[in-house]
Amino acid sequence: MRAIDGRVSIVGTQGAKTLYNIQALRAIAALLVVFAHLPGIELKHSPDQILPSIVMLGISGVDLFFVISGFIMVYVTWNTPHNIRNVGRFLFARFTRIYPVYWLIAVLVYIAWRLRPELISFDPDATNLWRSFLLLPDQTYPMLKVAWTLIHELYFYLIFALCLCLPKRFLMVGLTVWAAAIVLLQNSGFCPLSPTWRLMINPMGLEFYMGAVIGWLYMRRDDVGPLAWPILILGVLAFMLALIYQSNIAVDPFPNYTQRTVLFGIPSALIVYGIVNVERRGAEAPQSLSTIGNWSYALYLSHVLTLSALGYLWAMFAGDRAWDNIFILPIMVVISTMVSSVVWYGFEKPLLRYFGGLRQRLFGAGS
């Protein structure tokens, strides 16, 4: 298993295969989350607000990320023998993928808070810094609030690693038992106070499971043939309908975990299943969007800090007419994306190469 220019690939008897459409989908998911934070910046720094409330539902990009993650975990481990050494290899790869970039951004956020507390929404009395930096479950959000999703990611990696201890034919059995346990506990009336227990039974874990099922179907070569495009279109339409419903009809504009798993997790699963099969039939996403997919993790982590800094610059000349909003908001998205590219090329990509080599030395050659 290795990465080609940051894109997920499998190297083995099947040769190298790059999932350009998954990379493009990661870019879209990250940009959705960026858009979700624009209304808050606009409200804080401009006397005019032009963005509709539906934009805040870009948080649904997280649901798309979770389904993609489940798919990728099955994809990248398909040719990997299930043994303890490869479980260690898997966890090493996942931890070195998550923590270094997160720590870089988290340290920058902490420094920004120390220098300009108004830039960062952070209460040191309510947030445990060590739990934040280690991405451990807590009663509150981490210091870098978007990192709550990384806590869910790491939990899924641990569950997946346990399933890699099983014979390969039982991988999906193990994941299905885990998913069934979530459903049963969610419907049992069990209401734990412990943040660890709340994490373990969170229904959003089912989104990782959906992605894993898609990965299993895809790697079994269960080609859906001409149904690929209809599945993709159905998923996109269902996702858009969920956005419209949640922004215009639902009583609470922000769905709870169960609601968002149904409203956005299921459409996300259809989108992922459709888009990988569309690529199998020869339709690839634009190279530019796939390239931004390389930057998606850095974009997801860094955009809040970038937007906050740009917001304070904007406040210096923000007028009482909407023209500056129309001009500035797209520029903020572009600059946030460019900052993430700097993080990718200057920090994340070199580290991926370094840790990839270190993984080979520690665990030996792997598939």
The model's pLDDT over 251-308, given as tens digits with 9 standing for 90+, comes to 788 899 999 999 999 999 999 999 999 999 889 999 999 999 999 999 999 999 999 9
Q: Number of C-alpha atoms within 13 angstroms, CB side, residue 269? A: 21
How would residue 224 be classed by pLDDT, with cut points 50, 70 and 90? Answer: confident
CA–CA separation, 125 and 128 (whole Å): 8
Token readout for 41 is 């910046």
Nearest to 347 by CA among 289, 285, 302, 287: 302
What digits encode the pLDDT tens for the residues 146-197? Answer: 999 999 999 999 999 999 999 999 999 999 999 999 999 998 888 888 999 9
Q: Which residues pair with 9 in a beta bridge?
A: 2, 18
Phi, psi of 78 (to 5 degrees): -60, -40
| H/E element, 78 | none
Which pair of tokens denotes residue 51?
A: 């963005």
State the Cα–Cα distance between residues 227 and 288, nearest whole angstrom: 27
Alpha-carbon distances, residue 342 vs 31, 146, 329 (angstroms): 17, 20, 20
At residue 7, the pLDDT reads: 44
Average pLDDT score over residue span 211-226: 91
Q: Is the dihedral of CA 188, 158, 239, 232 positive or negative?
A: negative
Q: What is the pLDDT of residue 366?
A: 63
Q: Is the pLDDT of residue 3 over 60?
A: no
pLDDT digits (tens, 9 = 90+) for 14-42: 333 568 999 999 999 999 999 999 999 99
> What separation in angstroms does the CA of 228 have from each of 37, 117, 219?
33, 49, 15
Average pLDDT over residues 47-75: 95
Phi then psi dihedrals of residue 199, to 5 deg: -65, -45
pLDDT at 212 over 90: yes
